[in-house]
Structure 1
Amino acid sequence: MIVMMTFFLFQLYEHHLDIRQMQVGSEFEMPHHGILQVHILGEISSAKHFEYDHLFVHYFFELPKGWSCETTKQLSGVTQTCSARQTGIANFSYLFELQLSFNLEVLQTETDVLLSWPQMFIKVLSSDSWTRCRTEGYGYVSLPPSPGLHTIVVSTWRPLSSNPTGEMRRFFIGGSPELEDIDFVGIPSNFQDSLLSKYGLHTITSGDVTVKFNIMHHSQALAGSDTVADGGRGDARVNRYSSFLLERLSAATLVSSVNAVLIAFKRARERMLKARDGLEA
């Protein structure tokens, strides 16, 4: 009896192993030379501190120059509606999967162009039992440049009406001011000028959305296949190349921050000079 049970369990194990082999395959497919693949397993975890209940999130990814995605349906999605009435936190636990490709040749050809990581734009909405739909907040986050698990809290905001009538309409019949182009939350991809002015836009702080990214980088350029051939120097070369890649792709964020500081300093200096001229006069 024990022998028969052991044989049966062995057959069952082999059957499940064959099924897994058919699903996964026997070979790990490498990307083409000069291509960096970024595999993302993400989760829109929760949302809190929003004004109204029954929240849902609409999200989409914007790909800068050099990035591509074979399945465009993965670039956008909508979560289920979740109530936050009891705890004040809407727990979505909404999973999404994304596979992006970056052409490493752009690093060699576009030496004067700042390259950046894809951005995830978020729009939080609410809908009640009277089908009154309201925009609760906008936010965005850049894809983390390093592989691994990342938990990011995205702070949001929403446009505010310039008169009380708009807020009364929002309360009684729903509806609220919306952005014509959600790219305006960050920096639009088609923006060509040196300065993006958002002056005159009345906004109010909204809630927070927690997003988790589990990221894996896959590329022949990052593989240490030549480690043995060069006596162990392959790892150092791969680490240097990986560091160069991440630093180059992250340069846009750094330079934007530096430019923002320089612009603020220039404006402060101009105001100081005008004030000094007024005192001398």
Structure 2
Amino acid sequence: MAEVHVIGQIIGASGFSESSLFCKWGIHTGAAWKLLSGVREGQTQVDTPQIGDMAYWSHPIDLHFATKGLQGWPRLHFQVWSQDSFGRCQLAGYGFCHVPSSPGTHQLACPTWRPLGSWREQLARAFVGGGPQLLHGDTIYSGADRYRLHTAAGGTVHLEIGLLLRNFDRYGVEC
């Protein structure tokens, strides 16, 4: 089987109006993909930027997949959260990006968004915190129901990904 090795890090996030950010991440693949080593999801630590608006996480990603086909190429999905001084967490944004399909090192910038909700929910979010969240996490990376949502732009998640491909030529895939 052909193999894909994804090595890199979630560098951090910028452009969010909130501070004290952390990120929950995961990877989604099709049925023909098998995870040989690594973990499919994780969470970074909380970072409160002292200078500027960039929150640095430097969270490692190390995944090794075997695949029988190209359908369902891996997609990274993110949930960025902010934490207040009382330890309450509030959604800052959802985002996803496709893992590059060419070998080498790649710098990725993943834009994020969050659901707006009604004017009451927006007012409550401003004063009390919280706000609307997605019921199903797969809505982040599947466009089927996402077009119906009213959203607001969030910040950007920055990644550095190195990609190694192995045995693709044996299965008729030219890289």
Normalised TM-score (structure 2):
0.90
In structure 2, distance between residues paired with 1:186 and 1:80? 23
Shift of 1:85: 4.3
* 1:38/1:138 CA distance change after superposition, 3 Å: same
Note the alpha carbon deviations across 1:211-269, whole angstroms, 9 max, x for none.
Answer: 111011122x537xxxxxxxxxxxxxx9xx342xx5xxxxxxxxxxxxxxxxxxxxxxx
Write the distance in 2 (CA, Å) between the matches of 1:75 and 1:197.
24
Partner of 1:214: 162
What is the CA–CA distance in structure 2 between the aligned matches of 1:144 and 1:78, rounded to whole Å? Answer: 22
Shift of 1:186: 2.1
- Residue 141 of structure 2: aligned partner: 186
- For the residue of structure 2 that corresponds to 1:70, the secondary structure is strand
CA distance in 2, matches of 1:97, 1:172: 40
Give a deviation string over 1:121-151, Cα, whole Å, max 9, x none: 1110010111221100011011111110011
> Within 5 A, what are the aligned runs for 1:191-206?
196-206=144-154
Q: Partner residue of 1:137?
A: 93
- CA apart distance, 1:46: 1.7
Partner letter of residue 169 of structure 2? L
The CA RMSD measured in Å over matched residues stands at 2.0
Any conservation in 1 of the 2:107–2:158 contact (CA below 8 Å)? yes
Determine if contact 2:76/2:97 at 8 Å carries over to the other structure: yes
Give the alignment of 1:23-62 within 5 angstroms. Answer: 35-62=1-28
Q: What is the aligned length?
A: 175
Greater RCO, 1 or 2 (C-alpha within 8 Å, sep 6+): 2
Distance 1:96 1:173, change over 3 A: same
- Kept in 2, the 8 Å contact 1:43–1:211? The answer is yes
Which whole-Å CA distance do the structure 2 matches of 1:70 and 1:98 have between them?
8
TM-score computed with the length of structure 1 as normaliser: 0.58
Against the structure 1 CA distance between its residues 217 and 56, is the aligned structure 2 distance closer, same or farther, given a 3 Å change threshold?
Answer: same
Aligned equivalents of 1:214 and 1:98: distance in 2? Answer: 11
Q: Is the 8 A contact 1:69 1:100 kept in 2?
A: yes
The structure that is helix-richer by fraction is: 1
Task: Give the percent of matched residue pairs that are identical in Structure 1 and Structure 2.
Answer: 29
CA distance in 1, matches of 2:150, 2:41: 27
Q: Determine the structure 1 residue equivalent to 2:42.
A: 77
Distance 1:198 1:58 in 2: 20
Q: Which protein is richer in strand relative to its size?
A: 2
Instruction: Say if 1:144 and 1:150, in contact at 8 Å, map to a contact too.
Output: yes
Measured in 2, the distance between the counterparts of 1:210 and 1:142 equals 13
1:173 aligns with 2:139: no
Is the alpha carbon distance of 1:170 and 1:143 closer, same or farther for their aligned partners in structure 2, counting shifts above 3 Å? same
Alpha-carbon shift at residue 197 of structure 1 (Å)? 4.5
Structure 2, unmatched stretches of 5+, are: none
Residue of structure 1 in register with 2:110 after alignment: 154
Contact 1:162-1:202 within 8 A present in 2 as well:
no
